[in-house]
Structure 1
Amino acid sequence: MLELDHLTVQRGSLTVAQNINAQFHSGKIYTLLGANGAGKSSLLKAIFGELAFLGNVRYRDTVQRKAHLMAWRKPIAYMPQDSHTDAELNTLEVVLLGRMDALGRHISDDLMREAIDLMAQLNIAELAHRPIGALSGGQRQLAMFAQALLRRPKILLLDEPVSALDMAHQINLLQKVRHYTQEHQLICLMVLHDLSLAAQFSDELLLLADGKIQAQGTPKTVLQPQILRQVYQVDIEILTSSRGLPVVHPYRKID
């Protein structure tokens, strides 16, 4: 279990997360929702150890400490929003960096096969020998996601992983997230802006505003018109898909 205990994050004079308490369990996908500036990315960065905070972040019996960040991050794969890189590497080499601990002068055949297989599953195998800097933003996102999975993490932190992807690649990546989370019993926290996609692929949603959790629970519990209108300041209609999941339709700004 990953636990946040009275987590408060400040950036300068701005409090971006305030007194957050939450527990995240293996085998489940938790999606952070909220308007821009709500504290979603800051929460992931604090968990990973990129932002200082007050309170505690605990995974199993280990509490995050600045002096032991390398050990803390070992079971974590973190995919930030910005996938841009200036590295003069091809795409396969970037994916292989997910297993820095296993890399040496010789890369094992098993590790190479694992990396190539992940790329094939994400439909980017043909990009293996293309320079990473020559890829589109969406292609880089897929490569960085393959790198994250190659780490064989216990905790997966994904910050807007589908923001640059077309519809087909969004579904492919999120299906892979769900399958990998369940198969390997990961704890997955991701940030999404598409509320309908979040409803399809999440076990629980956490809706943030003003650095606080405004609602938490199943998609049907959180995606309620009155809650979303208050947080996003737009009028929202909630439809129901053929699978019984909420579909969020914003249709005008409140006057």
Structure 2
Amino acid sequence: MAVVPAMVQAENLSAGYRDAPEVFRGVNLSVHPGDCLVVLGISGCGKSTLLRTLADLHQPSSGRVVRSYKPHQMSFIPQHTSLFPWFSLEENVALPLTLQGIQKQPRIAAARQALDSVDLGDFTTRRTSQLSGGQLQRAALARALAGQAKLLLLDEPFSALDAMTRESLQDLLASLIQSRNLGCILVTHSIEEAAIMGTQIGILTPRGLEILREPVDPPQKTTPQVVSRPPRSSALEGRTSPGYFHRCRTIRTRLEELQCPEA
């Protein structure tokens, strides 16, 4: 069976800023199609810098990033969506195709199909000022899909939303990753979001990225495996299952250990 190459891979990656210490060093990670790597860590540990470095928006101080996708197949989605207020929603979503030189008719068709996929098909002519926070985040996802993104890099995209809207968008993102076989790296401060979204869960520290490992089912099995979410057949079941609460406890415990190491 042929081995599917990683969409993005970091090898001993370190990064910082001029006249300042490196914010992280020695990061190793690998994300394949269908993966969602969730990155947690304390404020200021370099999570956003890591995303920008992986997106080729920040130069690493050492190490390397190996990418198997074309430049236009990566979409960086920040916490505050970069939608233009003077464009309609349809024009905003079609923008990546406009920049690629795609003709008007196919790019509008692609934008409308993407908007339909995130339940915004009835809002094509609206301006950003006429949309809610949840709708703006859906539009950002639609723009990535219209641009044929294969890898999504998301920097706390749902942190400013209310709980129910946030869960709805988590479910939408999970469904898109699964149905379109996308790769995803998601930065968050939310333990619960990491537990429900992550096929891999990592904690970023100055010493690197620690991928969490745990027993599959506590405490009967002892073979360590990467922390992963349950099948996405039912989001509600996932958020109320014993495994979900166990993952939350595992993540919380390790975060506390890393923030308050023993003397």
TM-score bucket (shorter structure): 0.7 to 0.9
What aligned pairs does 1:49-60 form with structure 2 within 5 A after superposition? Answer: 49-53=56-60, 54-60=62-68
Specify the alignment match of 1:154 in structure 2.
150
The AA in structure 2 aligned to 1:6 is: N
2:74 equivalent in structure 1: 76
**Distance (whole Å) between structure 2 residues aligned to residue 192 and residue 117 of structure 1:** 29
**Structure 1: gaps of 5 or more residues:** 63-71, 224-239
Quick check: 1:20 aligned with 2:11? Answer: no
Aligned letter for 1:107?
Answer: Q
Contact 1:122–1:172 (Cα < 8 Å) also in 2: no
- Structure 1 residue 113 displacement after superposition: 4.1
The change in CA–CA distance for 1:16 and 1:48 in structure 2 (over 3 A counts) is same
Q: CA deviation at 1:123?
A: 3.6
* 2:88 alignment partner in structure 1: 90
Q: Give 1:52 shift.
A: 0.7
Determine if contact 1:33/1:193 at 8 Å carries over to the other structure. yes
Q: Give the TM-score of the pair, scaled to structure 2.
A: 0.73
Sort the Cα spacing of 1:154 and 1:85 in 2 relative to 1 into closer, same or farther, 3 A: closer
Map of 1:29 onto structure 2: 36
8 A contact 1:30–1:202 mirrored in 2: yes
Deviation, 1:48, is 0.8
* 1:137-184 Cα distance to aligned partner (Å, 9 max, x none): 443222112111212222111111212323333223222222222223
Aligned partners of 1:199 and 1:219 also within 8 Å: no
Alignment RMSD: 3.0
Tell whether the 8 Å contact from 1:20 to 1:213 is kept in structure 2 after alignment: yes
The SS at the match of 1:125 is coil
Give the alignment's TM-score, normalised by structure 1.
Answer: 0.75
Distance 1:52 1:33, change over 3 A: same
Letter in 1 for 2:102: L
SS state at 1:127 partner: coil
What amino acid is aligned across from residue 128 of structure 2 in structure 1? I
Partner of 2:174: 178
- Structure 2, unmatched stretches of 5+, are 1-5, 217-224, 228-238
Q: 1:211, CA displacement in angstroms?
A: 5.8
The equivalent residue for 2:195 is 199
Could you tell me which residue of structure 2 aligns to residue 237 of structure 1? none
2-structure distance, mates of 1:218, 1:170: 27
Give distance in 1, aligned partners of 2:214 and 2:124: 38
Aligned to 2:183: 187
| Identity between Structure 1 and Structure 2 (%) | 25
User: For residues 166-215 of structure 1, what are the alpha-carbon distances to aligned partners after superposition, in whole Å with 9 as ceiling and x for unaligned?
Assistant: 33332232222222222232221111222112211211101112362244
Q: Give the match for residue 11 of structure 1.
A: 17
| Superposed CA offset, 1:105-143 (max 9, x none) | x322xx434423432443433432122245444432221
- 2:131 matches 1:131: no
Between the two proteins, the alignment pairs up a number of residues equal to 224
Structure 2 CA distance for partners of 1:215 and 1:27, relative to 1, 3 Å: closer
Question: Which residue of structure 2 aligns with residue 68 of structure 1?
Answer: none
Deviates more, 1:207-216 or 1:183-192: 207-216
SS of corresponding position for 1:37: coil
Q: Is the 8 A contact 1:207 1:215 kept in 2?
A: yes
Contact 2:88 2:124 in 1 (8 A): yes
More strand by share: 1
